[in-house]
Amino acid sequence: MSFVWTLAEQHEGRLKAVSYELLGRGRALADKLDTKLASLLIGDGVSDEQLQTLVHHGADEVYAIQDPRLASFTCETYSNVLVHLIKTYRPSVILAAATSTGRTLMPHVAVRSHAGLTADCTELDIEPGTGHLLQTRPAIGGNIMATIKTPDHRPQMATVRPKSSRPLPADPTRAGRVIEVPLDLVLVDERVQARGYRGDAVDFVNLEEADVVIAGGRGMKKAEHFALLQGLAKALGGAVGATRDAVDRGWIGYPHQVGLSGKTISPRLYVGAGISGAIQHLAGIKTSETIVSINSDPDASLHQVADFGIVGDLFQVLNELQRRLDERRRGGEEDRA
């Protein structure tokens, strides 16, 4: 069996994008260690065709443990399955996504496997000479980067911040094996029962998986103005985020909150409108690939960490930006027509 494992994630039978990001990370580590890379999927209903795409993105082997009892994440059963696989195959490295699932499952498994675990890593490498996994992560609200290793325990486990790296391009000619592993029923723990998802949830947003996040702060002045951000998010193919301040004022729901008491995101593009850039908010966005700040205050902290900042009236800027994006879109439609 392979010595580097990544955990694929699925939702309702569809593989999540983060599964491929992890394979890119795992491939680099496996190559440095001159070992094989396996992707593990615990879930239900993922087709063979989809499992093959894990091979195309870097896996040498795919182990799929699929059963209706694994369709929804419950920590106890997933943990039993993973602990059992670790005991059987003794991998050296296991990477999971720093998602709600990964950040619940991995600490549970690490305790039971007496393994070292590092949370929410943004860089991974192999220590020359020893072959130990070097795990680098932001800590203390992103003020420091700590590099951590696990010298004496195996497996070396890490959760990896979603969107902090790109997947490898798909190579349909890559060879690899897909192995279906039946679920051993003694591993099923029925104490916790998943009942599905709340159907009436309004104002929910999947910020963690958005490539573009348009966020608003106190400078947005009122709830109605968040419609401007919704418009831009739609034009740019993204989602709307908010500061704690905006959420506490009731302008937008908590699932939109980014920062220390909200979500940590790492989109390709983050745009902050009317956001001063409190340290607590910056902690949640610092690893974004590109940061844009729009604020009338030239001294706003967000301007300091931005790749591109506009000092000006945010309503004027947002409206002009929307107008230009709409123009571009119409231009594109005419080109195609």
Partner 1 sequence: MHIIVPIKQVPETSNVKMDPVTGTMIRAGVGTVVNPLDLFAIETAVRLKEAHGGRITTLTMGPRGADKALREAMAMGCDDGVLISDRAFAGSDSWATSYTLSQAIRKLGDFDLIVAGERATDGDTGQVGPGIAAWLDLPLATYVAAITRVEPARGLTVERLVEEGYQVVDLPFPALITVVKEVAAPRLPTLRGKKRAKAAEIPLFTAADLDLEPSYLGLKGSPTKVVKVATPKVTRGGTLVRALDEDAVADAVDQLLAFLDARDLLPTGGRA
CB under 8 A: which stretch of 30-38, 47-55, 108-116, 218-226 binds partner 1?
108-116
Calculate the dihedral angle through the C-alpha atoms of 65, 71, 72, 74, rounding to the nearest 10 degrees: -40
Closest CA to 243 of 290, 196, 295, 289: 295
Select the residue interacting with partner 1 from 201, 224, 250, 337 (CB under 8 A).
201
When asked if residue 316 is in the footprint of partner 1 (CB under 8 A), the reply is yes
Q: Find the part of the chain contacting partner 1 (CB under 8 A) among 55-63, 178-186, 194-202, 221-229.
A: 194-202
The answer to the question of residue 197 lying near partner 1 (CB under 8 A) is yes
End-to-end alpha-carbon separation of the chain, Å? 53
Instruction: Name the 3-class secondary structure at 179.
Output: strand
The dihedral formed by the CA atoms of 159, 24, 18 and 210, expressed in degrees to the nearest 10: 110
Q: How far is the CB of 24 from partner 1 (least distance, A)?
A: 18
> Is position 166 an interface residue for partner 1 (rule: CB under 8 A)?
no
Nearer to partner 1, 52 or 104 (CB): 104
CB of 276 to partner 1, least distance (A): 13
| Site membership for partner 1, residue 128 (CB under 8 A) | no
Instruction: Write out the binding residues for partner 1, residues 216-255 only, by CB under 8 A.
Output: 235-237, 254-255
**Contacting range for partner 1; rule: CB under 8 A; set: 26-34, 38-46, 87-95, 135-143:** 135-143
| 307 touches 286 (CB < 8 A) | no
Task: Work out how close the CB of 131 gets to partner 1 at its nearest, in angstroms, rounded to a whole number.
Answer: 14
Binding to partner 1 by residue 123, rule CB under 8 A?
A: no
Q: Is 199 helix (H, G, I), strand (E, B) or coil?
A: coil
How many residues are listed for the chain in this entry?
337
Could you say which residues in the range 26-65 bind partner 1, by CB under 8 A?
A: none
Nearer to partner 1, 66 or 77 (CB): 77
Interacting residue with partner 1 among 150, 164, 243, 266 (CB under 8 A) = 150
Q: How many CB atoms are located within 10 Å of the residue 303 CB?
A: 21
Q: Binding of partner 1 at residue 161 (CB under 8 A)?
A: no
Structure tokens belonging to residue 272: 């902050």
Look up residue 170 and give its DSSP letter. Answer: P
Q: How many CA atoms lie within 13 A of 220 on its CB side?
A: 28
How many CA atoms are closer than 13 Å to the CA of 318, on its beta-carbon side?
25
Q: Cβ 190 to partner 1, closest distance in Å?
A: 10
- The one among 76, 165, 174, 230 contacting partner 1 by CB under 8 A: 76
Residue 74, SS3 per DSSP: coil
Q: Are 24 and 4 in contact (CB under 8 A)?
A: no
Binding mask 263-302 for partner 1 (x = CB under 8 A): -----xx--------xxx-----x---xxx-----x----
Does 107 bind partner 1 (CB under 8 A)? Our answer is: yes
